[in-house]
Structure 1
Amino acid sequence: MTYSLTSLAAQLSAQLGGDGDLQLHRLATFHGAKEGDITFVSDKKLLLRLSECNASAIVLPTALKETYQGNALFMDNPYVGYALLARLFDTTPNLSTVIADSAQIHESVVLGKNVAIGENVVIAKGAKIADNCQLFPNVVIGEESTLGEGCKIYSNVSIYHRCHLGSKVIIHANTVIGSDGFGNAPYQGTWVKIPQIGDVIIGDNVEIGSNTSIDRGALSDTIIGNGVKIDNLCQIAHNVQIGDHTAIAGGTNVAGSTQIGKSCIVGGSVAINGHITVTDNVVITGDSMVMRSINKPGIYSSGVPAQENRAWRKTTAYTLKIEELFKRVKQLEKQIEDKN
């Protein structure tokens, strides 16, 4: 696909610099770009190395408009420009709008217009699939579940009964929506299973990575807000509520009945305890363990960063002596007080 620099400026709402008739064929990295490519710069360090870039055009901060003489698009946020360009140059294949012969669709299912259904898809009784949805091969949609307009569900995703997706939801391969939460009542040394009878509610423009599990609610629903982004290999337990536009990186586990606010960023491999609250606009760095509620916006961290092994062993040894050292300090303080 090919775009002129003028057409890209219009589609990105960017200010044009240079030759508007320039034809661009590919989006590339700063260091990998060549003639005919467009790239972007959001790293301040790279702004000092623009002469090293071989791209035919660059998306740059608006502040450089008066000084940069090459072909460029000027935006307040070049990284957003990159995202918009990636949409234009995206070559991810879509399913053709047909229903595969091998698909099993209950007679009560309601299908919208231009729905694409791949091989071996199963859609159970009472489900509703809105216009322009794509269900890739081996997807399973449970009873009375609903998909809003323009959803894209990749291969081998299982969506259990009574799961309700908004519009333009993307779910990647092998993810499970609506499986039972971890609910068991202890009884005389055994466990009595607690049926999970809540639903899963997923808002608009949500994207969920591969191999992630989102459990259905025990009594109340598990709720994922609008614009939420959840990475691969995450566990979202029963009754969890995640606020609009929160992003959760890979390997994170959120225990049951926890509420995470809006516009939060949760790093990779974070563990969040159950029955707590995280307020809006919180950043939790990778590998943190959140045991208590967070009631104030800000950046939160825990864990021990990697060290060279010998240094780590010393740090661990010192840590084990903290209680002993604390007692010695208290004794010394008391001795000083007694002398005075």
Structure 2
Amino acid sequence: MTQSNSRTYRLGEIVARLGGELVGDPGAEILRMATLESAGPGDLSFLSHPKYRRQLRATRASAVILARGERDATTLPRILCEDPYVYFARAAQLLSAEPRPAPGVHPQAVIEAGAIVPDSATVGPGCHIGRGTRLGERVVVDSGCSVGDGAVIGEESRLYPSVTVYPRCAIGKRAVIHSGAVIGADGFGMAPDGDRWIKIPQTGRVIIGDDVEIGANTTIDRGALDDTVIEDGVKLDNQIQIGHNVRVGAHTAMAGCVAIAGSTRIGRHCAIGGAARIFGHLEIADRVTISAAAVVTKSITRAGAYTGVLPSAPSREWARTVAHLRGLDQLAMRVRELEKRLSKPRKKKR
């Protein structure tokens, strides 16, 4: 599978833009990124792991991206760099840049009084832009989006079709929000009153920083009193649920179907695997990695990798099981010590 782009780059141009050391023909023409196995003429590929050296020897790519230590692994034109996978990501952005729609407001869009829509912005058919809403320069709001009263969308952000942004929410610069995402719906705040529930009005907002990407059908709830905050550079996959008053630290990434309950604080530079569950009112330290499907019931105060999931059971039984599991290390040490004592030959009594 290749990624197509209408523009042709010369290899020397790519290095001039992205850096790295060029070995071979700077005039090699590059149209696309491709895997080593599927690449052909006009394709730029990359070697990110030594186990793919065999595919490197057989590739038909016009050029490849290699680690500096792999300089002599091929005679093809090549770009040497510190991290081929990161370089691939940047080259893919360059080669696969999606053209922006022409600026302007579609005749079938509704722009309410007091909304600020600059001439450089694009508003597609069927969109609704609320009263007092502000769109930044070169913002793209694709078809069928709803942006509520008083919301703010930062410059060069893009909302794909059918995104909903509730009133007063703020989205930073260069955000990418994919179809079906809902920003600022009410958090799940209910007070039990005998046999019924009393809804607690959710009066906070959602504040999203710069360079954030939000996947399709992801939902981020507004705060009950304070705001729900997604800091700069956060990357959220599809179908993630962020509860009210959560704060997600800068440059944290989450895979699909993660759920974070209300008022939890996630640190910076964290990585959370798919379908992980994090209980409410917890603190997660910076640079924590949580494995896929893990269930986090207590705060994590130190950086590191964490894994854990148990089948469901009655709550008290489940809690006892977890308590026993946490004592297994000490129990194992005691068993080993006992085995050592028992293995020593006993002295015969005279």
Q: Same fold (TM over 0.5)?
A: yes
1:200-219 equivalences under 5 Å are: 200-219=206-225
Report what 2:263 is aligned to: 257
Aligned AA for 1:170?
V
Q: What is the Cα deviation at residue 112 of structure 1?
A: 2.5
Report what 1:187 is aligned to: 193
Q: Which SS does the other structure have where 2:105 is aligned?
A: coil
Runs of 4 or more consecutive aligned structure 1 residues displaced over 4 Å after TM superposition? none
Report what 1:337 is aligned to: none
Which 5+ residue runs of structure 1 have no aligned equivalent? 306-318, 334-340
Report what 1:295 is aligned to: 301
Aligned equivalents of 1:40 and 1:251: distance in 2?
Answer: 30
Report what 1:266 is aligned to: 272
1:148-163 equivalences under 5 Å are: 148-163=154-169
1:220-239 equivalences under 5 Å are: 220-239=226-245
Structure 2 length as normaliser, TM-score?
0.86
Aligned equivalents of 2:130 and 2:194: distance in 1?
Answer: 38
Report what 2:247 is aligned to: 241
Can you list the C-alpha shifts for 1:295-318, whole angstroms capped at 9, x where unaligned?
Answer: 01000001269xxxxxxxxxxxxx
Report what 1:62 is aligned to: 68
Report what 2:39 is aligned to: 33
Aligned equivalents of 2:199 and 2:110: distance in 1?
Answer: 31
Judged with a 3 Å threshold, the aligned counterparts in structure 2 of structure 1 residues 191 and 207 are, in CA distance, closer, same or farther, namely: same
Aligned equivalents of 1:202 and 1:274: distance in 2?
Answer: 20
Report what 1:84 is aligned to: 90
Q: Which SS does the other structure have where 1:110 is aligned?
A: coil
Q: Does 1:138 align with 2:144?
A: yes
Can you list the C-alpha shifts for 1:24-52, whole angstroms capped at 9, x where unaligned?
Answer: 22211111001221101112211354212
**Of the candidates 195, 202, 205, which is equivalent to residue 196 of structure 1?**
202
Report what 1:17 is aligned to: 23
Q: Does 1:53 align with 2:37?
A: no
Can you list the C-alpha shifts for 1:153-175, whole angstroms capped at 9, x where unaligned?
Answer: 01111100110011001100011
1:95–1:118 CA contact under 8 A, matched in 2 = no
Of residues 31-40 and 200-209 in structure 1, the stretch that sits farther from structure 2 once superposed is 31-40
Structure 1 length as normaliser, TM-score?
0.88
Which 5+ residue runs of structure 2 have no aligned equivalent? 1-6, 312-320, 329-333, 339-350
Aligned equivalents of 1:220 and 1:91: distance in 2?
Answer: 37
Aligned equivalents of 1:79 and 1:21: distance in 2?
Answer: 23
CA RMSD across the alignment = 2.4
Can you list the C-alpha shifts for 1:247-278, whole angstroms capped at 9, x where unaligned?
Answer: 01100000000000000000000000000000
Length, aligned pairs only: 316
Aligned AA for 1:261?
G
1:289–1:302 CA contact under 8 A, matched in 2 = yes
Q: What is the Cα deviation at residue 5 of structure 1?
A: 1.1
1:235–1:252 CA contact under 8 A, matched in 2 = yes
Q: What is the Cα deviation at residue 91 of structure 1?
A: 5.2
Report what 1:7 is aligned to: 13
